[in-house]
Amino acid sequence: MAESFIRILRLTLQKPDVLPPDRRLLVAVSGGVDSVVLLHALCSLRHELDLALVAATLDHGIRPQGQADAAWVKALAEDWHVPAVMVSINVPALAAADGTSLETAARRHRYRFLAQAAVQHSCSSIATAHHANDQAETVLMHLIRGAGVQGLAGMALVSALPEAPALTLIRPMLGIRRDDVLAYCRAHRLSFREDHTNADTRYFRNAVRHEVLPVLQSFNPQLVDALARLADSVRTDLDFIDASLGAQLETYTAYHDDGTVSLDFSRWQMAHEALQRRWIRAVHQHLAPQHQLNAEHVGAALALLSSGKVDKFATLPGLVRLGVRHDTGPDRQIVARISPRQKIAFLQHPPDVAVTLSAEPVVMGNRRLSLVERPDARTIALVVARESQIGVRRRRSGDRWQPPGLRGRHQKLNEWFVDHKVPREHRDTVPLLIVDDQIAAVILPLHWFVAAPFQPSSSDVPPDGVIRYVLIQDS
């Protein structure tokens, strides 16, 4: 059974476009049986497949033993001659600050940690231990929630990493059942850490795993395989639809320098509804890649756009506003852009200082900014060259920068302020993070915007890039 496991894993990793060209993989390891088995199996294949492995483990701050589990993983990886990175965060506090559920916050901050660790260790791909049973659970969860076709596709073998779409997420055990994972563990007498929250059916996935799936398997013992086949079939159909979208709508989609995306309304009307839905998802992914759309969001936007009413807008996750407006003349355009949701409060006094940041806080108006070692909900993560200097100042005449969402294009800072409805009288009060004379981030009161080259998700990170964290506190 262990030989069969390795054979399937090897064949999966040898498929085109699964492994990155440099064969460097960040492996997400929680300490549970699945991730321990994945790390062990990858170690057994690393010489044959020329793999360079780095283990990453995160203490979510949810369980009292979480930090001990993370330390155990770090020691295990080092015993197997794999460098490891370990970080602790307080997910319950972050969930409260974000106003999200514990599950949602844990998922979001776990992927952010993996993105930061990958950039820090020069890995463009992250491997996780999702297997066939996880795929079956995911499809069922999406079905219960009322997801569209996209949800029935489940998880892909290779996809963009949530929270950092320039990085790649691979799931090499997706074609392996949990029974085979456990058999491999027994055959190699591997130790692992038990997470007792996995039995808590108050969490949605656990309820599906322990209560829903066993009932359905009583009707079809091969349900896991059946749901995996369903996901593969749906994903193949979606790939075809995506190709059709590129041919029929993407050709006519315009990306403007101010971040707006537009499409002629007459082209929209001629497209099939399946392509219209895919266009909405594609544009949202372009504008707000860190936010998720569900079928209800897409349905509401589709209904509004199909009505053709001018100057009526749907607001999607990530402050994406989508609607119909008149172009010059009678023609109508569908437009999408990021827009602030509410009026924001600015600093009371202009920050006149222009200084280099350090661990000692710099006071700017009613803000204190400093460099810290660890991320939390109040930090900005910047990818910078190892010897770069990070400073802070206010705007200067002629400032230009590369804001997120403009595909690396530069824009005058003043024009960006106009686009984001920053009142003229407050523009001199906005703190700017500066890295080696470039604007790396703009700090507005309710949100901060990291310039494209300095984002952990950027494909243009410096070869010696490191993560630096800037802490923002109210004075």
The parent domain of residue 267 ranges over: 249-338
Residue 31 lies in a domain: yes
What is the average pLDDT value for the chain, to the nearest integer?
Answer: 83
- Residues 6 or more apart from 361 whose CB is under 8 A from it? 368, 369, 370, 471, 473
Sheet holding 438-443, edge to edge: 355-356, 390-393, 432-435, 438-443, 448-450
pLDDT tens by residue, 429-467: 788 888 888 899 988 876 778 888 888 765 555 556 788
Tell whether 194 and 56 lie within a shared domain: yes
Tell whether 77 and 198 lie within a shared domain: yes
- Residues 6 or more apart from 99 whose CB is under 8 A from it? none
pLDDT tens by residue, 270-320: 888 888 888 888 888 778 766 777 777 888 889 889 888 888 888 888 778
Residue 349 lies in a domain: no
Nearest to 251 by CA among 264, 236, 260: 264
Number of domains in the chain: 3
pLDDT the model gives residue 329: 55
Nearest to 18 by CA among 243, 230, 175: 175
- Residue at which a domain ends, from 311, 338, 365: 338
Three-state SS at 73:
helix
Residue 343, pLDDT above cutoff 60? no
Residue 327, pLDDT above cutoff 70? no
Residue 276 lies in a domain: yes
What CA–CA distance (Å, rounded) separates 46 from 35? Answer: 16
Q: What is the mean pLDDT of residues 317-340?
A: 77
φ/ψ of residue 69, rounded to 5: -65, -45
pLDDT the model gives residue 437: 84
Residue 237 lies in a domain: no
Q: What is the mean pLDDT of residues 164-180?
A: 90
pLDDT tens by residue, 209-236: 889 999 999 999 999 999 999 999 998 8
Tell whether 23 and 160 lie within a shared domain: yes
Tell whether 260 and 219 lie within a shared domain: no
pLDDT the model gives residue 125: 93
Tell whether 290 and 321 lie within a shared domain: yes
**Amino acid residing at 41:** A
Q: How confident is the model at residue 25 (pLDDT cuts 50, 70, 90)?
A: very high
φ/ψ of residue 269, rounded to 5: -65, -30
Tell whether 287 and 432 lie within a shared domain: no
Q: What is the mean pLDDT of residues 246-267?
A: 80
Tell whether 215 and 306 lie within a shared domain: no
Residue 11, pLDDT above cutoff 90? yes
pLDDT tens by residue, 129-143: 999 999 999 999 988
Q: Which residues does residue 254 pair with via DSSP β-bridges, in sequence order?
A: 262
Tell whether 321 and 461 lie within a shared domain: no
Residue 242 lies in a domain: no
Give the CATH number, domain containing residue 42.
Answer: 3.40.50.620
What CA–CA distance (Å, rounded) separates 288 from 338? Answer: 8
Residue 264 lies in a domain: yes
Q: What angle do CA 431, 466, 86 make, to 5 degrees?
A: 110
Tell whether 65 and 189 lie within a shared domain: yes
Q: Which residues does residue 467 pair with via DSSP β-bridges, in sequence order?
A: 383
pLDDT the model gives residue 231: 92
Top pLDDT among 98 and 130 is at 130
- The token pair that represents 111 in the structure block: 């992927």
Tell whether 294 and 437 lie within a shared domain: no
What are the start-end ranges of the E strands in 4-128? 24-28, 52-59, 84-88, 125-127
What CA–CA distance (Å, rounded) separates 236 from 157? Answer: 12
Tell whether 324 and 440 lie within a shared domain: no
pLDDT the model gives residue 85: 92
- The token pair that represents 253 in the structure block: 């989609």
Give the CATH number, domain containing residue 307.
Answer: 3.30.465.60
φ/ψ of residue 47, rounded to 5: -75, -40
Residue 177 lies in a domain: yes
Q: What is the mean pLDDT of residues 9-33?
A: 94
How many helices and strands, by DSSP H and E, does the chain display?
A: 15, 22
- The token pair that represents 216 in the structure block: 């359905």
pLDDT tens by residue, 378-427: 778 888 887 888 888 888 888 899 887 666 678 889 888 887 777 777 78
Q: How confident is the model at residue 99 (pLDDT cuts 50, 70, 90)?
A: low
Residue 244 lies in a domain: no
- The token pair that represents 308 in the structure block: 């053709």
Assess contact for 252 and 334: CB atoms under 8 A. no
pLDDT tens by residue, 347-365: 444 444 467 888 888 777 6
What CA–CA distance (Å, rounded) separates 260 from 411? Answer: 13
- Residues 6 or more apart from 327 whose CB is under 8 A from it? 333
Tell whether 388 and 443 lie within a shared domain: yes
Most confidently predicted of 99-103, 151-155, 373-377: 151-155
